Amino acid sequence: MEKLYAGLDIHSDILYGTVLTQDGTVYAEKKFPNRKKALQTFFNGISSAQVKIAMEACGLWRGVYTQLTALGYDVVLSNPVQTHAIARGKKTDKVDARILADLLRTGYLPEVYIPPDDVLQLRDIARHRVRLVRLRTQIQCKVKGYLHRSGISFPQGWKKENLEFFKETDPQIADFISIIETTTERIRRVEKEIKSIAHHKSLALLLQTVPGIAAFSSIMILGEIGTIKRFPDPKHLVSYAGLCPGICQSSQKSYPVPKKACNTWLKWIMYMCSGRAAQINKRYMKHFYKKQRKCGYPIARRSTARKMLTDVWHMLDREEAYNPS
């Protein structure tokens, strides 16, 4: 049975598929709707044991991945930034699908980690809570803008009595207040669910021994990391979170550059935790102020987050509670 390699370029409405043989000959190539039946038709006659499929890790990957794995196909995800760097010069759906299949065939595909279902559930609920809070913040900013437009001073805080005052001020503001109240109710429900998960998950309880990490942050950290075994040392985890700068070197000159290809969710939650840790823990506080005197506030926060994430790696790797020594 000849081994085949497929590349799928994914869009919300269409898919472009290319299947190559071992020597790079095009076996099949077609543009078709992003529907389960059309996907099955494209791979009709190709057994799951015969083909390996590659797609980019974009925002649409999970639906197509679920359909293909349910049919028994072996599917891998490609790092889109690195794939585009390799295929730089011409970009069409046909080229993207062909490049994915070709990189898979030659063994040069920059694969990324595919989390199992239990890790995806942790990611989903933690990110959902963050998105709800950010949505509420956006609406609160709208309310402030409407108050300023009307020349009304904003009373500090979003207490119940203040919300009632806002409702009486303007019927348009009352609409926004209703959204805020509904969103707050949903946030509380999600937070209650997160606390329940964290209470029954041993690794989450382990992470909560770190100063600055509570139930929500422990679940988010676990969801973004997945299994700690995929990071051979703390440096790889820190790099994955983007908490260390990249470097550009030419001859005798070198300078740091921002690291954009990283897990921004893990970077954000560690940055948030570092602020609290620097307030309540002497070890992190000492590190923070030492860096702040030398490099300034932003670098001190990032350095503290990096130190915390290094501790997290050792804790998860050894499955031991936080030890300040």
My answer on whether 108 and 123 are in the same domain is no
Q: Looking at the structure, tell me whether residues 42 and 134 fall in a common domain.
A: no
Domain boundary among 61, 90, 112: 112
Residue 161 domain-assigned (yes or no): yes
Residue 207 counted as domain residue: no
Domain encompassing residue 9:
4-112
Residue 259 has pLDDT above 90, yes or no: no
Cα gap 117→190, rounded to integer Å: 19
pLDDT of residue 319: 94
Give yes or no: residues 13 and 107 share one domain: yes
- What are the beta bridge partners of residue 34? none
Name the percent of the chain in helix, strand, coil, to the closest 5.
60, 15, 25
Residues 193, 220: one domain? no
163 and 100 together in one domain: no
Same domain, 84 and 130: no
Domain boundary among 112, 147, 170: 112
pLDDT surpassing 70 at residue 248? no
Q: Among the three residues 112, 143, 173, which one is the final residue of a domain in this structure?
A: 112
Q: Provide the pLDDT for residue 217.
A: 97
pLDDT at 88 exceeding the cut of 70: no
282 domain-assigned? yes
Task: Answer yes or no: do 314 and 227 share one domain.
Answer: yes
Kindly state the average pLDDT of the residues 113-126: 95
Nearest to 125 by CA among 240, 216, 241, 61: 216
* Per-residue model confidence (pLDDT) at position 249: 66
Q: Report pLDDT for 82.
A: 83
Give the count of beta carbons closer than 10 Å to the beta carbon of residue 87. 16
Do residues 104 and 10 share a domain? yes
Judge whether 210 lies within some domain.
Answer: no
Q: Given a cut of 90, is residue 184 above it in pLDDT? A: yes
* Rounded percentage of the chain residues whose pLDDT exceeds 90: 76
| pLDDT band for position 244 (cuts 50, 70, 90) | confident
**Closest by Cα among 124, 321, 132, 114 to 223:** 124
Answer whether residue 205 is part of any domain: no
193, 159: one domain: yes
Residue 74 lies in a domain: yes
Give Cα separations from 163 to 138, 314, 315 (angstroms). 16, 46, 43
Alpha-carbon distance 248 to 256, whole Å? 6
What is the token pair recorded at 22? 């071992």
| Cβ(241)–Cβ(268) below 8 Å | no
Assign 261 a pLDDT band (cuts: 50, 70, 90).
confident
* Residues 125, 105 within the same domain: no
Q: What is the pLDDT of residues 138-157, one digit of tens each?
A: 999 999 898 888 888 877 78
pLDDT band at 85; cut points 50, 70, 90? confident
Write out the DSSP string of 129-195: HHHHHHHHHHHHHHHHHHHHHTTPPPPSS--HHHHHHHHHH-HHHHHHHHHHHHHHHHHHHHHHHHH
Supply the pLDDT for residue 92. 84
Q: Sign (positive/negative) of CA torsion 41, 47, 50, 56?
A: positive
For residue 12, what is the domain's CATH number? 3.30.420.10
d(CA 52, CA 49): 8
The more confidently predicted of residues 197 and 1 is: 197
Asked if 20 and 86 sit in the same domain, the reply is yes
325 domain residue, yes or no: no
Q: Quick one: 104 and 126 in the same domain?
A: no
Tally the domains of the chain.
Answer: 3
Q: Is 243 within a domain?
A: yes
Residue 86: CB atoms within 10 A of its CB come to 14
